[in-house]
């Protein structure tokens, strides 16, 4: 099979991927670094995300205003995000301005000037971001769940950091950490659009010629053993109980990841899913309920998130656990399985028509797995998953001792919740 994308590794270790989409008039560009909260010490928690903020404040060549005004003045978009294992900076712009976007984005991430006045202003902004998340229970419950399930590993640390850790991070800390993490062999550049790969590689090489390789960053792998259910409750006077219930699951390249994606789709990724129909439509216990998967280099998680009527928290949890347990006992009916496969297939095909989605597909795949699978490969792998594989995976994942539940709400009796944490 001829590859529909191109990949080049420069002599300094930097990896470049492109997807040629000749009919596109826009292009998407992303720059990834293997840099996130799980690489941080407790003392420096939040520094990866802090740097993400600071690089937008300018370089020796451009001010922060020039960076944003130039991109947005052309109708483009520029943004960034930090996760547990990656920091990514990305731009979407009209095709003819892609060389300018490459210049700006790479200048921004390689040559930032960490002026003291910007550092203090951004520190205050991050403080407000931390407060905002803590004041938003659907977001904050995710931090509680991660802290619970990863049992002291840095994978469970907040991406934003804490007020205490952010207060102590100095300009020297920032400069040293960036120098260690923002290296050529820890970087991926990806783009999708009407792109000539050789010309793009030449352009990237030009703007990264001073980026040097470094020692590969390391993190402490998850070694936790799950032998009994975990429960973490933050009592608040809220109208709903905000819930995240899940189990440790599969790493990024695990061969059963396709079966797990089908489990998530069947249970809670759309309005045809089992949890949406049973918990929301039939019982009215929740307005929002969904499932999701996190996959990391060495581990992962599967979880159910919901906002549940306070008085219905016990029957709602029982119903969620019953639906998860049903996957262990009974094979998914053929028609339901085919519908889930078609849902994922359709989403993949529609995403493949968008430059931004494909750019992220390329960059994340190369960053996390050091290879890129064709979308057709993923579709075929999903199509070949059997109902028996799904049941076997559910049996290995959905066990009482692996359950972890984080709650935020007006909980009067935690003991009653502890008693619920088991599969029927």
| Alpha-carbon span 251 to 253, nearest angstrom | 6
Instruction: Reply yes or no on whether 311 is catalytic.
Output: no
Contacts of 3 (CB under 8 A, 6+ apart): 374
Helix axes 334-351, 355-369, angle to 10 degrees: 100
Q: Give CA–CA dist 417/224, Å, rounded.
A: 23
Contacts of 163-169 spanning 24+ positions with Cβ under 8 A: 163/127, 163/130, 165/42, 165/43, 165/44, 165/45, 165/46, 166/46, 166/50, 166/123, 166/126, 166/127, 166/130, 167/123, 168/43, 169/44, 169/46, 169/47, 169/50, 169/123
Compute the distance between CA of residue 83 and CA of residue 39 in angstroms, rounded to an integer.
11
Q: Count CB neighbours of 337 within 10 A.
A: 18
Q: How many CB atoms lie within 10 A of CB 77?
A: 13
As given in the structure block, the two tokens for residue 23 are 């009919």
Tokens found for residue 388: 């028996």
CA end-to-end span of the chain: 47
Instruction: List the beta bridge partners of residue 308.
Output: 241, 286
C-alpha–C-alpha distance, residues 347 and 379, integer Å: 10
Q: What whole-number distance in Å separates Cα of residue 254 and Cα of residue 300?
A: 10
Instruction: Given the residues 52, 84, 85, 323, select the one marked as catalytic.
Output: 52
- Exposed/middle/buried for 415, CB within 10 Å: 0-12, 13-18, 19+? exposed
List all residues 6 or more positions away from 179 whose beta carbon is below 8 Å from its beta carbon: 214
The span from the CA of 409 to the CA of 243, in Å, is 9
- Residues that are catalytic: 52
């Amino acid at each position: 099979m001829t590859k529909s994308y191109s990949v080049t590794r420069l002599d300094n270790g930097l990896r470049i991927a492109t997807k040629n989409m000749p009919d596109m008039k826009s292009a998407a560009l992303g720059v990834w670094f293997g840099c996130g909260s799980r690489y941080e010490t407790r003392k420096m928690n939040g520094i990866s995300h802090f740097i993400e903020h600071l690089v937008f404040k300018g370089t020796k060549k451009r001010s922060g205003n020039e960076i944003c005004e130039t991109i947005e003045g052309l109708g483009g978009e520029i943004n960034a995000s930090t996760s547990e294992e990656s920091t990514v900076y990305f731009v979407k712009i009209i095709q003819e301005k892609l060389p300018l976007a490459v210049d700006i984005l790479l200048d921004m991430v390689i040559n930032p000037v960490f002026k003291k006045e910007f550092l203090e202003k951004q520190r205050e902004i991050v403080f407000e971001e931390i407060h905002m998340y803590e004041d938003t229970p659907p977001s904050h419950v995710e931090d509680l769940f991660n802290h619970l399930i990863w049992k002291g590993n840095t994978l469970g640390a907040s991406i934003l950091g804490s007020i205490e850790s952010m207060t102590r991070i100095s300009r020297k800390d920032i400069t040293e950490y960036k120098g260690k993490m923002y290296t050529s062999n820890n970087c991926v550049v990806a783009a999708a659009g009407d792109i000539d790969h050789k010309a793009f590689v030449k352009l990237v090489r030009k703007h990264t010629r001073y980026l040097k390789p470094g020692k590969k960053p390391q993190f402490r792998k998850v070694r936790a053993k799950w032998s009994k259910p975990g429960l973490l409750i933050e009592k608040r006077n809220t109208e709903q109980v905000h819930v995240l219930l899940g189990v440790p699951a599969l790493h990024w390249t695990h061969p059963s990841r396709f079966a797990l994606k089908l489990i998530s789709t069947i249970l809670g990724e759309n309005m045809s899913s089992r949890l949406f129909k049973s918990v929301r439509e039939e019982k009215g216990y929740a307005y929002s309920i969904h499932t999701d998967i996190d996959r990391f280099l060495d581990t992962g998680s599967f979880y159910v998130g919901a906002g549940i009527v306070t008085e219905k928290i016990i029957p709602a949890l029982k119903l969620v656990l019953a639906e998860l347990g049903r996957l262990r006992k009974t094979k998914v009916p053929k028609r339901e399985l085919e519908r889930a496969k078609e849902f994922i297939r359709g989403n993949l095909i529609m995403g493949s028509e968008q430059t931004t989605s494909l750019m992220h597909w390329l960059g994340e795949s190369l960053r996390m797995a050091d290879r890129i699978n064709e979308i057709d490969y993923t579709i075929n792998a999903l199509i070949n998953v059997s109902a028996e594989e799904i049941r076997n995976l559910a049996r290995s994942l959905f066990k009482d001792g692996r359950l972890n539940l984080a709650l935020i709400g007006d909980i009067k009796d935690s003991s009653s919740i502890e008693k619920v944490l088991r599969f029927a």
